[in-house]
Chains A and B, each alone.
Chain A
Amino acid sequence: MLDLARMTWTFLWLSLICVGGGLGVIPELQRQVVDQHHWVTAREFLDGYTLSQLTPGPNMMVAVFVGYRAHGLPGALLAGAAMFLPVSILTAAVARHWETLRERPWSRACEHALAPIGTGLMAAGVYTLARSGIHDWATGSLAVLAAAVLYRRWLPPLALVVSAGLAGWLAGL
């Protein structure tokens, strides 16, 4: 019970530092759920993130995956609620007053200052995922190939991830 409360609290504060979208919080999320609390292994974490890419909705659904692993259905429900509810209320509250707030000079300063911080966090998220997902030359080559295919827009992202899964299955990665 104590661990369930600890997990809910962890996802709640993680949602509040989720600046620049879901990817930015990945390093801290992995540190908390894998290294600190051992709710999932690093491999399971990457698989959970991959599943959240393959399913619709926000990719921070990985919270539901971790919550289920740690505490079953109540864990999934509480982790999901902690990840989405407080920030949704905050967004609704600010959205009501955004028209007037955004004209203030410091709002603009925050807007400009947070953009590079958010992108830096996203880059750290890529680094964290790469450390779990690339462990030999085959997975490394697949990642580079996937990046090239996506960059040239030869395939939409979902088709690309599914194709790579098929390739992994055929090659027995």
Chain B
Amino acid sequence: MARVRLRKLLQVFGWIGLTGLGAGRSVYFHDATVVRRPWMTNHEFIQDLTLSQLLPGPNFSNLAVAIGVRLGGWRGGAVGAIALIVPGALILLAATVLYFRAGLAPHAASAMHGAGAAVVGLVFVTTARIMGAAIRRGRDLLVAGAVFALVGPLHVNTIVAVLLVAPVALWMHRPRRAPRS
């Protein structure tokens, strides 16, 4: 039984897809489904957020699918994904056509260089904040550092790097049996 009518889901997710700009985009979903509407609890939201980050793929669209499935089953997931992705895709496509067809005049190129430099600062701060919250122990920092060095400066293929590091990380976090009393 769907908690929310698909039409309403399409409307709310479509609006997020159209207005969801900048870093920390999951906030828009929290606001729309927990704060403004009683569609789900905070606990349920955190569960879906964790899932969207755990699975491969862009977090923002994964979150739309996970919440969509929770609120409207399979069809809710499909509607959620389409509503979130399509508006932004069409806007970016229009910008892309302009970028290549207009051939970016020198002034526009200067503006893109400036904006590009700011994006570097933006992703740096966002990553630092996430690292600060996600990494609590020295061994996790070691794992993150190894992945960074391999994929970044050493140019190792990402799949190879993850295959090298993931078994070690999994072993570090392996389930442990409770000590017998």
Contacts and interface: CB of A to CB of B under 8 A. Distances in A.
A161 B36 CA distance: 29
Contact of A142 (B51, B61, B114, B123): B114
Nearest to B115: A165
Contacts of A121: 147-148, 151, 158, 162
Contacts of B22: 53, 156-158
Q: Indicate the member of B55, B119, B125 with the most A CB atoms within 10 Å.
A: B119
Q: Indicate the member of A51, A102, A123 with the most B CB atoms within 10 Å.
A: A123
B174 interface: yes
Given A22-B58, A47-B116, A169-B114, A158 B96 contact: no
Contact of A84 (B23, B81, B120, B130): B81
Given A55-B92, A123-B131, A142-B114, A22 B59 contact: yes
A67 to B, nearest CB: 9
Interface residues of B, number: 95
A5 interface: no
Interface residues of A, number: 104
A16 to B, nearest CB: 5
17 contacts: A19-B56, A28-B157, A48-B96, A51-B96, A55-B92, A58-B25, A76-B96, A91-B55, A91-B65, A96-B74, A99-B47, A113-B169, A114-B169, A121-B162, A122-B131, A142-B117, A172-B110
Interface of B: 17-23, 25, 47-48, 50-62, 65-66, 68-70, 74, 77-78, 81, 84-85, 87-89, 91-93, 95-97, 99-100, 104, 106-108, 110-127, 130-131, 134-135, 140-141, 143-148, 151-153, 155, 157-159, 162, 165-166, 169-170, 172-175
